[in-house]
Amino acid sequence: MASHRRPKQPTRTRVTVLTATAAAAVALSSQSAVAAPDKPNKDEVKAKVDALYEEAEQATEKFNGAREHQEKLEKEIAQLQDAVARDQGGLNDLRNTLGSMATAQYRGGGIDPSVALLLSGDPESYLDKASTLQQLSGRQLQAIAEIQAKQRALAQQRQEATGKLADLDATRKELGEKKKAAQDKLAEAQALLNTLTAQERSQLKDEEAQQSKAGRTAGEGAAPVASASGRAGAALAAAKTKLGSAYIMGATGPSAYDCSGLTQWAYGQAGVSISRTTYTQANDGTRIGRSQLQPGDLVFFYDDLHHVGLYAGNNMTLHASNPRGGVKYESMDNMPFQFGVRVG
């Protein structure tokens, strides 16, 4: 039979314990809320994003260098493979010539055993001893010597190609690592920007627009391009046509650039070929100090030289800044200047 006893009422002691427990829970919750870190404000997010952009650009320039090395290796390997194919054809022709001599000997009444060995056995090991075989005719000795030289050259080319292929594999791996490092930093920066409210993002965009407008005004008011040397002036004039273009890692135009991609493209429009990365562009001309700068000179920033732009005069640089700013004018004082380079 079911029990209909009334539930036991909590004792005074039990009520006190429950009340104390609830109060403690509320207190702990309040303490946790106080201890939780504050959400970074707009300016803090911008500073962190700018730092991440710098790290991404460091990885981007290393990516550019690895890609340039990969392209160079691919060309060298293709040339070596073509040379191997040509030399293999030449070697086959020489063997055919020697075979024709042996055939003539055979038809004339016999074939020299050493020639038969060359044609039917292991010619590679035989060739090292062939020059000592005095019983061969002069023409046969000459043919054998040519074959020997061709074989050695061919072996060397194949060994070189094998080494370059291994180097290419390592370079491709490095390329992937540098690309991922840059992309991870950019993704982290974007995630930070996404933590801002719509209003904060709008304010940040407005501030960037105002800074870009001020930079453009200062840049356009800089020393005229005509005061630069001809090619440097032409490079700066070309870069000006790309103001507002997007910044994209590894891009060299025509609609998007990274920092060294823009400078390489601009000088290319002036008929001057410079290298691909900031690290190598630093050696593409004569290094100069800040007081010697003229419009169109390359200007390098940061201790490791991971950023480059074009000097625009009036203490301004025209550069592919970062994914948020794109191609724009900016004060030289906003970055740690290292030196300039006068190209050509």
The pLDDT of residue 107 is 55
Q: Which of 152, 169, 191 is the C-terminal boundary of a domain?
A: 191
29: in domain: no
Active site residue 259: yes
Domain that holds residue 171: 42-191
19: in domain: no
Question: What mean pLDDT value characterizes the chain?
Answer: 79
Q: Which of 107, 109, 94, 108 is nearest to 140 (CA)?
A: 94
pLDDT band at 115 (very low <50, low <70, confident <90, very high): low
User: Which of 114-123, 235-244, 310-319 has the lowest average pLDDT?
Assistant: 114-123
331: in domain: yes
Domain count, the chain: 2
Active site residue 69: no
How confident is the model over 2-47, as pLDDT tens digits? 444 554 555 544 444 444 444 444 444 444 444 445 677 888 888 8
Top-confidence residue, 262 or 163? 262
CATH number, domain with residue 99? 1.10.287
Q: Which of 4, 69, 259, 306 is catalytic?
A: 259
Q: Which of 158, 191, 224 is the C-terminal boundary of a domain?
A: 191
The pLDDT of residue 84 is 79
Residue 331: C-alpha distances to residues 221, 250, 307, 308 (Å): 13, 24, 14, 13
Q: Which residue reads 């005074």 in tokens?
A: 12
The pLDDT of residue 233 is 94
CATH number, domain with residue 338? 3.90.1720.10
Asked if 236 and 266 touch (Cβ cutoff 8 Å), the reply is: yes
Q: Which of 4, 69, 306, 319 is catalytic?
A: 319
Q: Are residues 247 and 216 in the same domain?
A: yes
Q: Are residues 208 and 168 in the same domain?
A: no
Residue 277 has pLDDT above 60, yes or no: yes
Asked if 123 and 98 touch (Cβ cutoff 8 Å), the reply is: no
Q: Which helix (H) or strand (E) holds 331?
A: strand 327-331
27: in domain: no
Q: Are residues 127 and 231 in the same domain?
A: no
Active site residue 306: no
**Cis previous bond, 7, omega within 30:** no
Q: Which of 140, 166, 191 is the C-terminal boundary of a domain?
A: 191
pLDDT band at 133 (very low <50, low <70, confident <90, very high): very low
Average pLDDT over residues 57-71: 90
